[in-house]
Structure 1
Amino acid sequence: VNLTSLNIFYKYLDPKGSSQKTDTIRTSEFRLNITPEVTQINHIQNNNDQLLAPNDKGTFVKSPAGVNTEVTFPISEIYSKLTNRSLNQARLMVYALPEANQDEKVKLSPPDHLLLVNKDSLKGFFENRRLHDNVTSFYASFDKETYSYNFGNIAAMINYYKRQKKEAFDLTYYLVPVDITFTTTGGSYYSPGTSTPTAIYNQMKPSAVMLENKPEKLKLDIIYSSF
């Protein structure tokens, strides 16, 4: 569904509006387009018991209003190494697992985008129509070639909380399926321009994917410098 609207047809009296200057009845209409302020769905019920059960193979994300994956960054394990060093890069990639045996006719596609958001920042994120700030929240798009979500460099997140907490800490984030509206600027015949996210919403179309949780796949590639 790309657009939902409500068309209202009505009649009204047009005094002396006819060609003979007598009263006449006219018909007209107006359209009410659905906006982000309008509730899209009042209630969604899911049976997620199987998805929430412990699984050595992976964890799940599912929409709408389904299942999110919790990610813990054990910064406390490397905090001593960062005390007198500057963190330059921390690259995060999350790999998905294809469901090879699933019927293509009923198979749910992976979410187009995942939001990586701090546990304490999730409440109010969508209600207040916030955008990612690359500290408490990041987004990644699904790559069909590598079957993964690449969040890029999240060093700003670690550096920010390092300054705030000033002691060893761990961080808890959620992976949430989202829809993103992009605006393209600077486009021309020779260049496609730059796409910038202008709105992030809870994903309302059905989607699901298993995210791989093997230790060798859950790594932060870190580069830091001493000073």
Structure 2
Amino acid sequence: ARRVASLPHALVDNIPEQLGSDGSKLVQYARWVKERIQALAGADYRPTIHLDAHGALGQIFDNNLGKVLGILYALESAVKPYPLRVECPVMLASREAQIDAMRTLRDYVRARGLRVQLVADEWANTLDDIRAFVDAQAADMIQIKMPDLGSVHNAVDAVLACKRGGVGAFLGGSCAETDLSARVSVHVALATRPDMVMAKPGMGVDEAVMLTQNEMGRALAEMAHRRAAQ
């Protein structure tokens, strides 16, 4: 059976159906994911549950960070004992406002003693953006969207900037990428060692995981062969 370190990276983009007016539907979904893991995988599999809110938590609570904190608490409680990451819980109108809101929400999380990790995505598009989020300590992890960065060396620099700043690096991108860009991502990951790599392309699961893991396996096997031949 395939096992990944983080799942399902579910995109929350339909508030009435996926969240509800108070976020309760998302909490129910998170609990269902936990129960499916327990039913199908056993006690030795402990993935991080990763939800991409795409700013929706802020939408339903009019960016009231205290209320957003409340739903983060409910989500963390729903998925225990598994770790939780929530990507882009709020989405503001500028980079500066986004950084300020994410940093404040992260402070609230710490003050409340929660363990949920906040992931920056929106407004962290360029290398300069990513460095600004890192400098402000506005997230526990940043999604590094390789197509947005414009070049492979910028993606490398972004991962290294996160690592230097003590922020988790999520080497990600888009479901609309190609198999070639996905394989390039694998080699960037092997060179820079981010905390997480997105399985891509596509909106499915097995195909993207297979492509990413197979490319990583091939590269590691070739490296081992070359070392043995020296």
TM range (shorter): under 0.3
Q: Which structure shows the bigger proportion of residues in helix conformation?
A: 2
Q: TM-score normalized by structure 2?
A: 0.24
Q: Which has the larger radius of gyration?
A: 1
TM-score by length of 1: 0.24
Query: Which one scores higher on RCO, CA 8 angstroms, separation ≥ 6?
Result: 1
Q: Which has the higher strand share?
A: 1
